[in-house]
Structure 1
Amino acid sequence: MKLLSRYLLKELVVPLVVWVAFLFLLLFVMQFLRGTDVLLGSAVTLVDMGSLLLFLAPHFLMMALPIAFLLAILLGLGRLAEDRELTALQALGIGPVQLLAGPLFVGVVLSALMVLLTSTAEPWGLTRVKEFVAEIIKKNVVGDVKPGVFYEDLSNLTLYAERVEGTDRRWTHVLLNDDRDPAAPLLMLAQTGRVNTNTSGQVLTLVLEDGEAHRSNRGTSSYSVVSFQEAEIAVGVEGSLGRRNRFRSPKEELTPRELLQAADEAERTGGDPRSFLMALHNRLGNALAPLSFALLGTPLAIGRRQGGRAWGYLLTLGGYVLFYLLMRLFEQMGQQGRMPVLLAGQLANVIFCAAGLVAMYRVNRSGTVR
């Protein structure tokens, strides 16, 4: 029996590792392509790319593990069914229920890992990504501003420098057009300028020296001019980052404890704590998805004879899309108060588990291969 368990685990673990690696790489490439204007800047190094990959790894694993596990079950155990190996095991008295032990064991391990990731590493990684990409944007501004070329990568700002000189990339004869306030645009002309990269967080500071600031009010005919010796323009890079990096919700940056604290604070101040509680239970529901996938995927895999890999791919895609849609539907109902948040977070898993138990009962009655 131990030999059989090791053999079945091998049929699950090997494709699981392969598909996790493939999906992880796919997710990273997709994210990279969405942020090429930041990640291909002149200041980005291979070390920066490695750091970004490290910070994103927990988030991508949370996305890749459930679908890779379902795919491993349907393809791994499905191959045994197609090759009649499960028929031979049934002749030896090993039924479908006994074959469920291996996928359930792997599902428990994956769920425990996902609970750990979503409670610690994922919030930490997403928070660090936000800070890290902000620092990259700041460094890119220093390196990407070219003499005689308009720089427009900052939201609603246009920067122009006639010359860029020195190791600190100081600008000469600078023009800065600020349209962040459409009703009162600002035009600044300065003899010199530079980027202050010592600021922390989501703020970048442009330092302009010896110049004039021109502001007009489009609602009236007023126009003002102010001379200055030194002016600092604070630019929030969060808008630039958010425009290129929309792969997460801000609540995913909070740990479960922080979500509970936010819910308590919202309740004390008369707000609605359901959004924070729903985020917590939805995260837990996603982490427990491998268990429901094991219960549903095993009977679907061992109860068929034909279809091949195409059948496995199609069923995996359809199953995961259905699970995702159910999670989103119940999440909305939980946030709207039409369903308790605990039930809303786990109902998709309950439905899949119930469907899996029914399918296992039918397969067990009719035999491994019909």
Structure 2
Amino acid sequence: MKATLYRYLFREISVPFLLGMTTFTSVLLMGRLLKLADMVVAKGVPFSDVLWMVVYLLPYFCLVTIPMAVLLAVLLAFGRLSADSEVTAMKACGISLYGLLPPVIAFALFAYIATTLVTLYGIPWGNTSFRRLVTSIAEERGAKALKEQVFIDDFPGLMLYLNRYSPQDQRITGILIQDDRNPAEPSTIFASSGVIFSDPATREIRLLLYNGGIHRPVGKTGYRLVEFQEYDLKINIPQATQEVLKNEMDMSLSELYANINSPRLDRKLRTDMELEVQRRFSLPFACFVFALIAIPLGIQNQRSGKGAGFSLSIGVLIVYYVILTAFKAMGERGMVTPLVAMWSPNLLFVAFGIYLFHQTAEERRLYLFTALAEAGRRIRHAFTTGRTP
């Protein structure tokens, strides 16, 4: 009988878990969609490359969305069971609230394993691959960014306008360049023609300009004109394409430990890496923490519906991540050790979850839901009678 019950509970949790994963991942992805869409429409980046960027971002999102989805799934599942009096029927059959824990803990264990794999292997792979892809795209677009009769601002400190551009022989005519790379000496360059050379080895684009002039202001009222028959202008590919050193989120666990044990590492960097190591184990453990809290909250929230359950889960998540952020800030400042900084939110929520679970097992109504029910009753009364509650 218990095996059947456990399978039933497992299925009840699985459906809202998938719904939560889809919803939370979509919400997080929405913040990146405008920027990704701009890369396709305005920058001409292939749609396939943008799809790969989304794939590389998914592990980072999953680190957050899996524990969030566990909380939502367990809360909605037990809210539905309680609303349909199935929890009461289970108690009548001699199954206490503690007897309902095994399938929930088993589900949280699967989520914990998935989140741990994501944080240990998925995130370093995704972040590194994302950086490499962005670098590759920017390098390929270095020379391709040149278009005729369009103001080009893809190069830091430079604005280019080319009246005619021939990609076949790399010749350009009717050239206007505003060079603000040195703010103390801005200059405007005109040239009748020129040739483009791209050097992938040095990551430079060279413009060999012919028959033109360089206009520079001198002081507040002065002006200088330098005419040339031939002028060589070098343009560095944007800084975003340069090889970026790995930060702690891009490193594997072995790389983090190797850097932490290095005597040459700066103290602040060592602290950041120690915090990252603890974070990679503490955030997956939040699956157990959220599952423990969600059971009593779902049962106590029985009559409020799925909308209220979703809002309640968001509220719990906000409180958890605010506390996590606060402790992380204390860890970065050296006020507490990285171990304490990353694990304190879990310990606080475990203690809170045990209290909620015990109160619910003893069939004691939580003050929060009593207050919400009373507020709802007063509001309904006000709408019905037209009086102030």
TM-score by length of 1: 0.85
Cα distance 1:3–1:188, how it changes in 2: closer, same or farther (>3 A)? farther
Distance 1:188 1:93, change over 3 A: farther
Q: Is the 8 A contact 1:137 1:237 kept in 2?
A: no
Q: CA offset at residue 188 of structure 1?
A: 4.9
The corresponding residue for 1:64 is 65
CA shift for structure 1 position 39:
3.5
User: What is the SS of the residue equivalent to 1:146?
Assistant: coil
Q: 2:41 matched to 1:32? A: no
Q: Measure how far apart 1:111 and its partner are.
A: 1.6
Aligned to 1:245: none
* Alpha-carbon distance, 1:359 to partner: 0.9
> Which of the residues 343, 349, 353 maps onto 2:350?
353
The Cα of 1:297 is off from its aligned counterpart by 1.0
Deviation (angstroms), 1:109: 1.5
Flag the structure with more relative contact order, 1 or 2, with Cα contacts below 8 A and sequence separation at least 6.
1
Structure 1 residues 197 and 351, CA gap change in structure 2 (3 angstroms): farther
The reply on whether 1:276 has 2:273 as its aligned counterpart is yes
Structure 2 distance, partners of 1:276, 1:213, is 52
Map of 1:162-241 to 2, 5 A cutoff? 162-166=163-167, 171-185=172-186, 187-189=188-190, 191-194=193-196, 196=198, 198=200, 205-211=204-210, 214=214, 230-238=232-240
Q: Secondary structure at the match of 2:95?
A: coil
Choose which of 331, 334, 342 in structure 1 pairs with 2:331.
334
- Kept in 2, the 8 Å contact 1:42–1:143? The answer is no
* Letter matched to residue 70 of structure 2: F
State whether structure 2 residue 260 is matched by structure 1 residue 263. yes
Deviation at 1:145, TM superposition (A): 4.0
**Aligned length, in residue pairs:** 359
| Displacement of 1:309 | 1.3
CA distance in 2, matches of 1:168, 1:118: 49
Report the Cα distance in structure 1 between the residues aligned to 2:106 and 2:121, rounded to whole angstroms.
Answer: 23
Per mean C-alpha deviation after superposition, the further-off stretch among 49-58 and 347-356 is 49-58
Report the secondary structure of 2:362's partner residue: helix
In structure 1, runs of 5+ residues without a counterpart are 243-248
Local SS of the residue matching 1:100 = helix
**1:304–1:60 CA distance, 2 compared to 1 (3 A):** closer
Q: Deviations over 1:171-190 (max 9, x none)?
A: 43433333233223355555
Matches within 5 A, 1:1-370: 1-41=2-42, 43-140=44-141, 142-143=143-144, 145-166=146-167, 171-185=172-186, 187-189=188-190, 191-194=193-196, 196=198, 198=200, 205-211=204-210, 214=214, 230-238=232-240, 250-265=247-262, 267-268=263-264, 271-272=267-268, 273-366=270-363
Tell me if structure 2 keeps the 8 A contact 1:171–1:193: yes
- Once residues 297 and 228 of structure 1 are traced to their aligned partners in structure 2, the CA distance between those partners, rounded to angstroms, is 73
Counterpart secondary structure, 1:151: coil
For residue 342 of structure 1, report the CA deviation from its aligned partner: 0.5
On the 8 A contact 2:120/2:253 being kept in 1, the answer is yes
Report which of the two structures shows the higher radius of gyration computed on alpha carbons: 2
Shift of 1:31: 0.6
Query: Aligned partner of 2:93: which letter?
Result: L
Compared CA separation, residues 99 and 156, structure 1 to 2 (3 A): farther
Is this contact kept in 2: 1:192–1:208, CA < 8 A? Answer: yes
Q: 1:301 to 1:40 in 2, by over 3 A?
A: same
Contact 1:41-1:144 at 8 Å conserved across structures: no
Q: Structure 2: any 5+ residue segments left out of the alignment?
A: 371-389
Give how far 1:168 is off.
7.7
Q: What are the Cα deviations for residues 250-295 of structure 1, in whole angstroms up to 9, with x where unaligned?
A: 4322222222333333x54563321221122123222221111011
SS in 2 for 1:176: strand
Cα shift readout 1:129-176 (whole Å, capped 9, x = no counterpart): 122123334445555543222112443321211112235875434333
**Identity percentage of aligned residues:** 25
Contact 2:136 2:241 in 1 (8 A): no
Q: Mean Cα displacement is larger for which, 329-338 or 112-121?
A: 112-121
Shift in alpha-carbon separation, 1:38–1:204, aligned structure 2, 3 A: farther
The two structures have a TM-score, normalised by structure 2, of 0.81
What SS does the corresponding residue of 2:261 show, helix, strand or coil?
helix
Alpha-carbon RMSD across the aligned residues, in angstroms, is 3.2
1-side partners of 2:123 and 2:315: how far apart?
26
Letter in 1 for 2:57: L
The structure-2 alpha-carbon separation of the partners of 1:250 and 1:269, relative to structure 1 and needing over 3 Å to count, comes to: closer
Aligned residue for 1:132, secondary structure, equals: helix
- CA apart distance, 1:204: 5.1
Deviation at 1:352, TM superposition (A): 0.9
Match of 1:246 in 2: none
Looking at structure 2, the residues matched to 170 and 180 of structure 1 have their Cα atoms a distance apart, in angstroms, of 24
CA distance in 2, matches of 1:365, 1:330: 33
CA contact (8 A) 2:134 2:241 kept: no
Amino acid at match of 1:207: R
Larger deviation, residues 37-46 vs 168-177: 168-177
Contact map agreement 1:126 1:252 (CA 8 A) in 2: yes
